[in-house]
Amino acid sequence: MVSLMKFLSVITIINIHHFALAFLHPTSHPVINFPNPDLHHWQSTMLMLINPFNVPPHGEFRDDHNNRNHYQQLSSYSLASKLNVLHDSGVIEHTHPIEVVGHRGSLYTALENTSRSFLHAVEAGADSVELDVFLLKCGNLVVFHGSGGDERPGLLHLYCGIDGSILDYTAEEAKRTLTFNKSYDEFGCGPTQITHPDDLATESLGQEPIPHYCYVHTLEEVLTTLRDHPKVPPTLSIKIELKGEGTAFPAVQLVEKLNMMHRCHYSSFDHSRIAEVRELSPGALTGALFADDVPDDFIQRAIAVGASEIHLKYDTCTYERIQAAHKAGLGTMAWFRGPVGMKEDATSKYHDVGNEDECMYEVVIRTGVRSMCVNRPGVLAKLAEKMQRRINWESAFYLNEEKKSEELSA
């Protein structure tokens, strides 16, 4: 009887703790997280029976479309479970700095793939920025993503509200005539941060008008800005994703012309482009990109084309894959989807994390991945700084303890 009373007391304390955390640290997303992966399955089951408002490991307490609170066990909706990094799985904590890569820059504060977006990523603490390039019919490389997925990239319908592809234009035509769709949800910065040539939209909000910057940039313009801007450290690296056909040779040629070989890396879902880069520039750092279906021989495929890194989608970079890549001498990076895809994942797929909040980033970091290409570089940079402070503190603590032990034994 006494044991039962003690157990009930513990349950009460745990429930109070959970609800206190919920109110003190609410997320800004539709899903309010109450993960508690330190509990074993039988403990979680007992807690659920006694108090249905308590949430077991990777469960959720959220509001559905009918505004009714409901509970759902998330064994199949847990990112931590999918990546095999539950707290009780024996995964070793990260002991090295994580590289923060701004996906298309800092796309929640400025239009993606623009110099402004890349500079914002630097200000937010990014170590690297990632961008997408196409070779246009004029022979110039431009920085652009477009819709159409990896099968037909560069389409303009959603991005610019017109039919066609970026490949239909010269660089000058694209810069002069294409404007970006302010209502497109993929542009996380929102309509007030998207400029048109004759548009002073921010004046109505009582703000200084934003100088027009939302045009299709050439790769040379972006690289020159990141090389010469006084606020960009010389350690910043640029990850160039080769989106379109024929991009490898001119990209390597341009990087060499600008003397930025030590700062530019290359990646592609088309691994033949990686092989071409390595043939043109044997010392170049290259990443083999993989989508949802990661083949069993992904390491062998990467090594076969001379890739120095493996880039996996954030929810496919399992602990086992990351460790296997490191064992093979390859670097690793987790890449995140764009804003629309990440919102979809956070609201309907993975309910133990928010939409690129610290919780989501922490889960991915637990796999041991070395770099993360994210849409919110500021959030990851702050988390990485906190983690590094903890690592430094722990190192100093253990060194101090060893010193004390040596003094006692002397």
Average pLDDT over residues 229-257: 97
Query: Which runs of consecutive H residues, i.e. helices, occur in 287-357?
Result: 298-304, 319-327, 339-348
Task: For residue 395, name the pLDDT band (cuts at 50, 70, 90).
Answer: low
Average pLDDT over residues 306-333: 98
Average pLDDT over residues 369-381: 98
Average pLDDT over residues 310-315: 98
Query: Which runs of consecutive H residues, i.e. helices, occur in 106-192?
Result: 115-123, 157-160, 171-177
Task: Flag whether pLDDT at 65 surpasses 50.
Answer: no
User: Which of 99-103, 146-150, 283-287 has the lowest average pLDDT?
Assistant: 146-150
Q: What is the pTM of this model?
A: 0.79
Compute the mean pLDDT over every residue in the chain, rounded to the nearest whole number: 82
Burial class (CB in 10 A: 0-12, 13-18, 19+), 232: middle
More confidently predicted of 71 and 195: 195
Distance CA 52, CA 50 (A): 7
Average pLDDT over residues 321-326: 97
Q: Residue-wise over 118-130: b if at least 16 C-beta within 10 A, else e?
A: bbbbbebbbbbbb
- pLDDT recorded at residue 361: 97
- pLDDT recorded at residue 1: 54
